[in-house]
Structure formats: C-alpha cells, structure tokens
Amino acid sequence: MVKAYDGALILADLLVLLLKVVYYAIEGFYRFFFPVDEKSVAGEIVLVTGAGHGIGKELALKYASLGATVVCWDINDVSNEETVTEIKKMGGAAAHGYKCDVSNRDEVMRVADKVKKEVGTVTILLNNAGIMPCRPFLEYTPQEIQKMFDINVMAHFWMLQAFLPDMLAKNHGHIVALSSMAGVIGLTNLVPYCATKFAVRGMMEAISEELRISSSCGGTNSNIKFTTIYPYMVDTGLCKKPKIKFPSLMAVVPPQEAAAHIVMAQRRNIPEMSIPSHWLGINYLLRNFPDKVPRSVKDFLDSGVAADD
C-alpha cells in the first residue's frame, strides 16, 4: 500500500514536471518574439569595474544616460576620471570615480566601504575588468597566469563579498559578470584566459542557483538577479591580433554596441547572453553532436586570436 502511494506521488510529480516543461518552453518561445519590457534603472546606483576604457567606459556612459548614479572603478585613475568627467558633461547624471585594484581583496573592501558611505548602496554591479594576454600556453610565466586569475576570477569573488550582502539585506539588486565566448569554447593562445572565463561562468551559475534554492527552502524569495555575458571579440584593444576568416560574418564588435546589448540584457533580466546573441545558441546546438562536428565547424570558421608579439 505504501509503495503504491509512493508510486502515485512520483507519477504526480512527473506530471507536474511535464506541465512545467511545456509551459516554460511555450513561454520561452513567446518571449523570443515578444521580449519583456526593459526595467528602469533611473535612481539605481550602478558600479562598473574597468570603467576607464572599452566596454566598461561605454557601460558607465550608457547607465548615466538612463538616469542612474554611476560609480566608476579602475586601477588607472587618469582614464577613470576621464570617464567621470565625460558623464558629468552630459548633464543631470551623477558620477563618482574611485581608484581600485580589484584583484586585491583588502583594497576592494576598503574602497567598497568608502562608496557605501559617500554614495550609498550599490544596486547594480557590473564586474567587467579583465586582462587577456595571448600566447601559446607554455610561453606564459607563472606570474602572468596568477595575475590573470587574480583579475579575471578572484576579483569577482571579492566584489560579490563586498556588495552582495547589502543587496540581500534590501532584497534588491542585479549582478552582471562579463565572461566571454572563450568561457564557452576553448581557443588556442588563450588557455589561461579561457580557464578564467569558464570559472566566471560557473561561479555565476552556482551563486544564482544557491540563492534560488535557499529561497525555495523557506527563505525570502530572492529578488537578486544575475546576468552573465559572453562577448565575441570586442574592439577594446584586448584582441591585438584577431584572426577572422569571414569578416562580414564575424566582425569585431564595437564597444558601444557591446555595452548596449549588456544593458539591455540586464534591464530584461536575461540570465545569459552572447554578443552577438546567436553564438551561444549555435554552441549549445553543436555540443549535441559528436566532438568532430563542432571541431570541423571551428576549423571551417578558422577564427580566433594570434599570439601577441
């Protein structure tokens, strides 16, 4: 009798699961054609790391244009202040610049406390800072590999430790992390970089899932959102020697365009997105085939980065 009852419960759970799968599949198909409206970021306090140049600078300018208070972090104080000055010249937008080495946990915590006292609680965090030396794996020095992990990975942990608790206390916030298409597929001349970006991808998926599960186990329903971005090559100077077989198909993306897509993804609460958006779907599709299929496609496209001089 007990076994029959347990079996009935399992069947009921399977039926509920099936209904959920069908519902969410239909919802996803509908949202592909009719996406949700972009939420307002006016009045939010947005912190961007690596705001002195490239994507980070364009993100800071974009959020300022939308009415957010922008906090710019960069290790380069001069270029960071240039971004702050440019925002202030726009008129009506508040901007604050702070010099910070995000790979140094003590410095992150110190500057974070200063931001909280002088500006307020950060509600949107964009972990953008990163470096990308390009060369064959055995030509990297141990110091270069360590530095890449300190900036590209460990900084994400220190930033989360600094700002996530306040978001949880307010039950309001959004964290955006820049991974890379190199965090989805392995590429030559980028072995350590790929490893760092795969790590960011896993960290974001895990922290999002941890909060979701803790919410479903009797806690407060978490209103903290997470978005992971996988850019293809962006014209920021990191890709010193891009190798592109089909420029019209796989052109290097301007930083302004990349920033616009990132802001859109954050405002629509999209969990993950590649830039251009089709690359992530193509990767997931090809992964369902035998290994030789995606490798053949990669060989045909013959794109990536050549080693730095």
Which residues touch 79 (CB under 8 Å, ≥6 apart)?
52, 53, 57
Confirm if 96 and 119 have CB atoms less than 8 A apart: yes
Structure tokens at 54: 């490239």
What's the alpha-carbon Rg for the chain, to the nearest Å?
A: 21
**pLDDT value of residue 306:** 86
| Residue 283, pLDDT score | 93
Token pair in block for residue 226: 């997470």
Residue 168 makes CB contacts below 8 A (sequence gap 6+) with 222, 224
219 to each of 64, 167, 206, 210, 291, how far by Cα in Å?
Answer: 34, 15, 18, 12, 42
Alpha-carbon dihedral sign for residues 267, 88, 49, 276: positive
pTM: 0.91
- For tokens 């996530």, name the residue: 164
Is residue 68 within 8 A of residue 42, CB to CB? The reply is yes
Question: What average pLDDT does the segment 170-187 reach?
Answer: 96
Extract the tokens encoding 135.
Answer: 């060369």
The per-residue pLDDT for range 253-291, each reduced to its tens digit, is 999 999 999 999 999 999 999 999 999 999 999 999 999
Q: State mean pLDDT over 82-86.
A: 97
In this structure, are residues 63 and 70 in contact, taking their beta carbons and an 8 Å threshold?
A: yes
Catalytic residue check, 193: yes
Least reliable range by pLDDT among 42-46, 93-97, 243-247, 275-279: 243-247
With CA atoms as reference, report the closest residue to 57 among 269, 304, 262, 270.
262
Which candidate in 63, 193, 230, 232 is catalytic? 193
Tens digits of residue pLDDT in 118-177: 999 999 999 999 999 999 999 999 999 999 999 999 999 999 999 999 999 999 999 999
Residue 222 — pLDDT band, cuts 50, 70, 90? confident
Distance from first CA to last CA of the chain, Å, rounded? 74
Quote the crossing angle between the two packed helices 155-170 and 191-216, to the nearest 10°: 20
Model confidence at 218: pLDDT above 70: no
The 10s digit of each residue's pLDDT in 227-262 is 999 999 898 877 778 888 888 778 889 999 999 999
Mean pLDDT of 10-38: 92
Q: How far is CA 110 from the centre of its chain?
A: 24
Mean pLDDT score of the chain: 93
pLDDT at site 1: 58
